[in-house]
Amino acid sequence: MIFCLGLAADPTFTAGVQALRRAGAAFRSVDLPSLALRGRLRIPLESPGDTLLWLDGQRYRLGDFPAIWCRPVDVSAAAPTPELAAAAAGQYQALARILESLPGKVMNAPLREASGFTKVPHAVDLAGVGGWKIPETCLTSDPAEASRFVRSCRNGAIFKGASAAKTWATVFAAKHEPRLPRLARLPVLFQERIVGPDVRIHVVGDQSFGELIDSPVLDYRTVRGVNSYRPLTPPPEIADGCARLTEHCGVPLLGVDFKIERATGAWFFLEANSMPCFEGYDERAGGAISRAIVDWLRAPGH
């Protein structure tokens, strides 16, 4: 029996649940907002496996499940009352920590890959594990330093947020120069622009599923209907590095992003997402990613 914990309104979570249903796997599913609204949670500190959830007349003991598929999201900001906001935030924080300590298999414990909270240490650490290059990078709150870095980039520069919060990468242009003094209030991550296609590799355990994305814009996630998607078998050194990454991070599912420099064919590592939204890639891959997820959850052992 597999336990599913997430948001019924999250397309990625529901894609995982639907994959389990298609495979005929036995599972139980709990929606986190419903748990905050109508449920209860009991956590005995001395025994995480005895954590109990009650919802709609059902009782669940987490230690009874050999595998858990989870995508916990803090929904407290959307709660209609302060009391429900406090309940949702508390349940999220408690479950995120409990999932670290359960005896069974967990895909993916949300706090395990902690380097993702800050992009620069994350990129440096994980690129070292994979044996990959990263773009020239500058994280700064100094406008003069940012200006010098941008001028030094032979193919131009891009900039984006430095934290785990989702931001869009943007090409640095002349119009951005007058805004550089704002860096004193909020440091920004600058990188040399790598001109060429994007690659997303979903890693499930030691399996890799690659896709090459050509887009007319810098960040292909910002547009629809104009990108070109092609399946890609990662080179052995990339696939092997991705498998090492899942072991190093302690999470079985990662979405790993690269750029391939068009002029040289060189691969550059960007980041690895431990809560990837895989459903669009999976649809184009004929369901291969979700089948691998189901196989991992159903396989015995850790």
* pLDDT tens column, 149-177: 999 999 999 999 887 777 889 999 999 99
Q: Evaluate whether 189 touches 162 at the Cβ level (below 8 Å).
A: yes
3-class state of residue 155 by DSSP: coil
What is the pLDDT at residue 211?
A: 98
Topology of domain 2-107 in CATH is Rossmann fold (3.40.50)
Q: How far is CA 137 from CA 67, 208, 222, in A?
A: 39, 27, 23
Q: Which residues pair with 200 in a beta bridge?
A: 211, 257
What is the mean predicted confidence (pLDDT) over 252-276? Answer: 94
Residue span(s) of the chain under CATH 3.40.50 come to: 2-107
Quickly count: other Cβ atoms within 10 Å of residue 55's Cβ. Answer: 17
Residue span(s) of the chain under CATH 3.30.1490.20 come to: 136-192
| Strands 253-260, 27-31: pairing kind | unpaired
Phi-psi region of 265 (alpha: psi -120 to 50; beta: other; left: phi over 0): left
What is the pLDDT at residue 117?
A: 63
**DSSP annotation of 235:** -
Residue span(s) of the chain under CATH 3.30.470.20 come to: 195-274
d(CA 50, CA 124): 38
What is the pLDDT at residue 152?
A: 96
CATH class of 136-192: alpha beta
**DSSP annotation of 175:** G
d(CA 110, CA 82): 25
Q: Is the pLDDT of residue 219 over 80?
A: yes
CATH number of 195-274: 3.30.470.20
Neighbouring residues of 177: CB distance < 8 A, sequence distance ≥ 6: 147
Band of residue 116 on the pLDDT scale cut at 50, 70, 90: low
What is the pLDDT at residue 198?
A: 97
